[in-house]
Structure 1
Amino acid sequence: MTDIAVFGVDFTSAPRKVKPIVAAEGLRHGAVVRLTRLVALHSLEEFSAWLAQPGPWVAGFDLPFGLPRELIEQLGWPTDYAALMAHYAGLSRAEIRERFAAFCAARPAGSKFAHRACDGPAGASPSMKWVNPPVAWMLHAGVPRLIAAGVHLAGHLAGDESRVALEAYPGLLARELIARRSYKSDAKAAQTPERLIARKDIVEGLEQGRTRLGLRLKLSHAQRDELVADASGDSLDAVLAMLQAAWAAQQPRYGWPEGADALEGWIAGA
């Protein structure tokens, strides 16, 4: 049985010293996924350089890869994925915010945002959201760099099939273990003992293989302590995304259901 290199990335659209992009790197051997290291990437340039590492690997990225088809058609944007992403990358954040805000303003209260088919099953925020969390900016900063790196965006865009990029959502896996309990915060005042206990419970559940992914996480004592101690949850989110990638790596079509919309995308494990 050969080892498969699997990665998970907790992405931010504005990485910096205090809030880097965090990449978890690991190896899947059968039903065991061993974390080999955590990498902090302090700029988008560092992220692009990290993406260039040779395969074979499969990686889960905590950022949306697509937009709702309803939104795209309403705005008259291209319905070819590569053309759409080129168009989106060419817009400024101010232009995106203006168009998205106008779209929302024309819709009834309670259904302002358009959703992708995978948002509901994953419990994810709409990918057009530009605040709390600003996932629209994550797509704007991240996907063009994935395309420029020539990786294979499974289901979306053919690339180097030895380097496979999938959309992941750590919250989907975390909820399986701790339901709706909060386990992270960037705000110092909100970094409570309750959230620390929740992170411990997630790590314990992953090590025991108590999720429907059927995988067990293997950590050193130091790694376990690091994941629990990181009150922002970024390191743990990267590891959760890595496990989603490890699961998808062994699935037909990387876990994409039949008929999933290539324009919208799919979240691994949803």
Structure 2
Amino acid sequence: MLIYGIDFTSAPSRRKPLVVARGQLEGAHLTILDLVGCHDWATFEGYLRLPGPWIAALDLPFGLPAAVVAALAWPATWADYVAVAARLELSAFLALLQGYSSRQPAGQKLPRRLTDVLAQARSPLMCQRVPLARMFWQGAPRLLASGACILPCHPTEDGRFVLEGYPALVARCWLARQPYKGSRPDQREGHRLARARLLAGLTCAGLTRRYGLTLSLGESSRTVCLNDSSGDYLDALLCAVQAAWAARMSGAANAATPEQARRSLSALLPACDPNEGWIFDPALAASPGGGE
């Protein structure tokens, strides 16, 4: 089965591309075929339109916290409130979120979804440093427009499955909280050593214990991941690991029909609000076989 891991950005360009890791899953073995930088939205949307079956994990928040959606008086259903956000200019969308945050007490200005709390991830309302609100505004409407099966937010009968990934969860298995990306010159060598350690972990028995997979990574792809100080290429690879884990652990890779694959993937989800979205990773999975 084809597997995609996508490191998302709110403004793809030649300097800061959106990165796609393309892989092939055969049994428990994931082979990374290539790592490609997408410099514009048209190229990214082209990947979403590729015929299935395939499973992709994307590093962006698919949804907003339910409390925020309710406070904005938007429809509760994911497809409906994403359509509302898509009709707004970016500046107007960000102003609404900032207005909501300004009315909240200290400590509650950047609310998180349940999946963010469990993954120790940032709030989708965050606009500074990591511009997650911009990523949602750019990404979620494109996912909706693709017609793909967006789990758990917007299930369809399509054979293209799009899941939310969070590469930090994979990286923590080997690095804990040690940083592996950034632009500060005084930290460059330390970050590179951390990326080397993480890459070594991904190609050893630890990946089988944690994700039920083995990985083949060509030397050119490994070199790109090692030398990319932004970590974007490595993050795309980590998202591909999460997508492959979901495909294999659920049995979706061997499903006879898209409906069977959708049901299998959905079985990995714990009780959650589907309109907020959920990160697919063994650390957050409902399946008793999903963890170590």
TM-score category of the 2 structures, normalised to the smaller one: over 0.9
TM-score by length of 2: 0.87
Describe the superposition over 1:56-106 as per-residue Cα deviations: whole angstroms up to 9, x where unpaired: 100000011110001111111111211111001111222122221221122
Find the partner of 2:193 among 171, 185, 197.
197
Q: For the aligned residues, what is the CA RMSD?
A: 1.5
Find the partner of 1:163 among 160, 167, 178.
160
- Residue 17 in 1 paired to residue 29 in 2? no
- 3-state SS of paired residue (1:54): coil
Structure 1 Cα separation of the partners of residues 279 and 48 of structure 2: 20
Query: 5+ residue gaps in structure 2?
Result: 251-263, 285-292
Instruction: Identify the residue that residue 253 of structure 2 maps to in structure 1.
Output: none
Query: 5+ residue gaps in structure 1?
Result: none
Letter in 2 for 1:66: G
Structure 2 Cα separation of the partners of residues 8 and 92 of structure 1: 28
Instruction: Identify the residue that residue 228 of structure 2 maps to in structure 1.
Output: 230
- Residue 73 in 1 paired to residue 70 in 2? yes
- Residue 257 in 1 paired to residue 253 in 2? no
User: In the alignment, is the contact (CA less than 8 A) between 2:10 and 2:135 conserved in 1?
Assistant: yes
Describe the superposition over 1:104-160 as per-residue Cα deviations: whole angstroms up to 9, x where unpaired: 122221221111010011121111212221111111111211221211102111335
Structure 1 Cα separation of the partners of residues 189 and 57 of structure 2: 29
Structure 1 Cα separation of the partners of residues 280 and 4 of structure 2: 13
TM-score by length of 1: 0.94
- 3-state SS of paired residue (1:249): helix
User: In the alignment, is the contact (CA less than 8 A) between 1:255 and 1:268 conserved in 2?
Assistant: no
Identity, % of aligned pairs? 36
- 3-state SS of paired residue (1:166): strand
- 3-state SS of paired residue (1:36): strand
Letter in 1 for 2:275: L
Instruction: Identify the residue that residue 172 of structure 1 maps to in structure 2.
Output: 169
Number of residue pairs the alignment of both structures matches: 266
Find the partner of 1:107 among 98, 104, 109.
104
Structure 2 Cα separation of the partners of residues 174 and 26 of structure 1: 19
Describe the superposition over 1:29-80 as per-residue Cα deviations: whole angstroms up to 9, x where unpaired: 2222110011111001111112111111000000111100011111111112
Structure 2 Cα separation of the partners of residues 20 and 221 of structure 1: 21
Distance 1:209 1:149, change over 3 A: farther
Instruction: Identify the residue that residue 267 of structure 1 maps to in structure 2.
Output: 279
Structure 1 Cα separation of the partners of residues 13 and 23 of structure 2: 24
Instruction: Identify the residue that residue 46 of structure 1 maps to in structure 2.
Output: 43
Structure 2 Cα separation of the partners of residues 225 and 255 of structure 1: 36
Letter in 2 for 1:245: A
Letter in 1 for 2:26: H
Describe the superposition over 1:151-194 as per-residue Cα deviations: whole angstroms up to 9, x where unpaired: 11021113353110000010111111101111012x26366110
Find the partner of 1:215 among 194, 213, 216.
213
Instruction: Identify the residue that residue 257 of structure 2 maps to in structure 1.
Output: none
